Structures are given as C-alpha cells and as structure tokens.
C-alpha cells in the first residue's frame, strides 16, 4: 500500500477492477455516436447489472463533460461580450470628443472611427445572440 492509503491504492481494488474489466467490452458503432456495451458473466443478472452500470456511468460522465463545455463556452462568450462592450464605450467616447456630438468632419479619421464603431456594434449583437442561444441550449 502506498503512503496515500486510499482504496484505489489497494491490491484488492485493482483486482476487482481487472475482474470487472475482463467481463466488459465497449465498442463504438462505426459512423455513429452509439456505444455498444457487452457484459459477460455466468450470472445473467450480474451481466445485466454490469452493462447497465457502465451505461449509467458513461451517461453521467458525458453529461458532466457537456456541462463543463457549456460553462466554458458561456464564460468565453461573457468575456467576449465584456471586451466588445468596452471597445464600444471607448469608441463612443472617442467619437464624442467634439462636445458630445459625433465627429462628422470628412476625412480618414472619422471614416475609420465610424467603421470601428459599426463593427463593434455588430460584434456586441452577435455575442449577445450567441449568449442567448447558449443559455437556451444549456437549459434544455
């Protein structure tokens, strides 16, 4: 036994895992996301229980993985939204330096500012839409 002394460090734990592993075969059905679980045992109930427990453990793992991906995507979109809103405020402040009125003077600077402002507004809307869609998919 190792210094950790946890159940996973014992020989009996690993022997039990080996015994279970020898009774299970999991394969992916080609060109699908379906897993085929085959359990063998002289006891039909044990075979059924092993197959069902394996399927349930996989469902829980897959659900947890999907939830963590949704959480990560939501965090990314929220950070993107904050960044775009910050850029929009900065652009609005820069365009409003002429007494609160947008710069209307002809020239390259006003054209560039208008272009950046339009792009930032589009980015904000796109990011908000992504956030709404993500919230819908995670609540379903």
pLDDT at 108: 59
| List of long-range contacts for 22-31, beta carbons under 8 Å, 24+ apart | 23/47, 23/50, 24/50, 24/51, 24/54, 26/54
Q: What is the pLDDT along the chain (140 residues), one digit of tens a residue?
A: 444 556 667 888 888 888 898 999 999 999 998 899 999 999 999 999 999 999 999 999 988 888 888 888 888 888 888 888 888 778 777 766 545 555 455 555 666 667 777 777 788 888 888 888 877 776 65
pLDDT at 88: 78
Tokens 């394996």 correspond to what residue? 54
Nearest to 74, CA basis, from 135, 140, 136: 135
In this prediction the pTM is 0.49
Other Cβ atoms less than 10 A from the Cβ of 50: the count is: 19
Nearest to 92, CA basis, from 112, 113, 77, 75: 113
Q: Going by C-beta distance under 8 Å and a sequence separation of 6 or more, which residues neighbour residue 116?
A: 87, 91
pLDDT at 6: 65
């Amino acid at each position: 036994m190792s210094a950790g002394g946890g159940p996973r460090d014992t020989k009996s734990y690993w022997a039990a895992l080996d015994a279970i592993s020898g009774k299970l075969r999991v394969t992916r059905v080609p060109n699908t996301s379906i897993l085929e679980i085959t359990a063998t045992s002289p006891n039909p109930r044990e075979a059924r229980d092993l197959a069902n427990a394996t399927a349930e453990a996989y469902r829980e793992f897959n659900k947890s993985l999907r939830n963590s991906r949704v959480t990560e995507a939501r965090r990314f979109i929220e950070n993107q939204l904050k960044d775009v809103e910050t850029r929009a405020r900065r652009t609005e402040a820069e365009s409003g330096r002429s007494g609160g009125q947008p710069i209307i003077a002809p020239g390259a600077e006003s054209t560039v500012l208008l272009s950046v402002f339009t792009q930032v507004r589009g980015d904000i809307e796109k990011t908000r839409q992504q956030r709404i869609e993500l919230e819908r998919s995670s609540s379903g």
